[in-house]
Amino acid sequence: MDEISFEDFKKVVLRTGKIVSCEDAGDNLYKLKVKADRERVLLAGLKKYYSKDELLGKTVIVVVNLEPKKMRGAVSEGMILAADKEGEVSLLTTDKIMPEDSEIR
């Protein structure tokens, strides 16, 4: 694993975001609308692990300054963080209720 400097890490902008809509976008993908610094579209390979109902209203941790990426005919404007080990996936959330767009540091 390559180490990065603290200065490089500071470039990553993490915010809390609330999932406000969820629709199918392909094999394992959901097209999510997440309200963080603004409402943004995120494509996430979570269909195998979460139902739409489990995702709606959930507060998650989002990388908001990731370069947009076109996938499956849509543009993903960030990334939701999740832990993944041996086929188990768990979204990163806060342990208290936090407003959307709270800074992660």
Domain definitions of the chain by residue range: 6-91
- DSSP 3-state assignment of 41? strand
| CATH fold of the domain at 6-91 | OB fold (Dihydrolipoamide Acetyltransferase, E2P) (2.40.50)
Half-sphere exposure for 72 (CA within 13 Å, toward CB): 14
The tens place of each residue's pLDDT in the chain, 105 residues long, gives 999 999 999 999 999 999 999 999 988 999 999 999 999 999 999 999 999 999 999 999 999 999 999 988 889 999 999 999 999 999 999 999 999 999 999
pTM for this entry:
0.92
DSSP string over 7-36: HHHTT--EEEEEEEEEEE-SSS-EEEEEES
